[in-house]
Structure 1
Amino acid sequence: MLTITRPVLVKVRVTDSYKKSLAMELQQTAARLELELQQIELQTRKLQEFAKKNPGGAEAALAQLEQERQKRLDTRLKLLDKIKEVGKLENGSEVLQGKVESFVQVQVGDDWNRLMNAEIVIEDGKVAEIRGA
């Protein structure tokens, strides 16, 4: 007999409370991104004023700020798309939340596929089901 680690998928069973909390979490992240975008805009204006008084040298910093701004805009758009998709999730369906690892004992003759296909299903913050244990 041998003890090994195996991946265990963690899934969430969709409920109204899950959709509500997920949408709230995504909205909070989008709001944080909005604050970061405002901060970048302020830094950009300050740097542009500095560049007017001191020509040369600010272009690289301005380009970096623009890259950061664009990255956050792209992320915000993806978050808004995810928020829309949360409403489309059907109650009772399962969505992948992550992966953890567990120990399992293996011995000659074990069904490898059964050993390696372990899942935990969470519903409203509680373990609702363990599959393939």
Structure 2
Amino acid sequence: MLTITRPVMVKVRVTDNYKKSLAMELRQTVAKLELELQQIEYQTRKLQEIAKKNPGAAEAALAQWEQEKQKRLDTRLKLLDKIKEVGKLENGSEVLQGKVESFVQVQVGDDWNRLMSAEIILVDGKVAEIRGS
């Protein structure tokens, strides 16, 4: 007999509470990004003023701030799309939340696929089901 680690998929069964919680979490992240975008805009305006007085001095920094701004805008769009998708989730369906590791004892003759197919199902933050051995 040998003890090994195996991946355990953690899934969430979709409920109205889960959808509300996930949408709220995504909205909070969007709000944080919007604050970061405001800060980037402020910094960009300051650099543009410097660039007017000394052309070329702030070009690299301005380009970097524009890249940062674009990254956040892209992330914001993806999050807004995810918020829309949350509303389309069907109650009772299962979505992957993550993966953890567990120990399992293996011995000659064990069904490898059965050993490696462990899942934990959560409903409203509580373990509702453990699948696999």
Q: State the TM-score, normalizing by the size of structure 2.
A: 0.99
Report the aligned-residue RMSD: 0.5
Query: Which consecutive segments of 4 or more residues in structure 1 shift more than 2 A?
Result: none
Q: 1:106 maps to which residue?
A: 106
Q: AA paired with 2:60?
A: A
3-state DSSP of counterpart to 2:92: coil
Q: AA paired with 2:108?
A: V
* Count of aligned pairs between the two proteins: 133
Q: 2:39 maps to which residue?
A: 39
Q: 1:89 maps to which residue?
A: 89
- Percent of pairs identical after alignment? 89
Stretches of structure 2 lacking an aligned partner (at least 5 in a row): none
Q: 2:14 maps to which residue?
A: 14
Structure 1: distance between partners of 2:11 and 2:98: 7
Question: Is the contact made by 2:50 and 2:57 (CA closer than 8 Å) also made in structure 1?
Answer: no
Stretches of structure 1 lacking an aligned partner (at least 5 in a row): none
1:91: how far off? 0.5
Structure 1: distance between partners of 2:37 and 2:98: 29
Structure 1: distance between partners of 2:124 and 2:68: 36
Q: 2:123 maps to which residue?
A: 123
3-state DSSP of counterpart to 1:10: strand
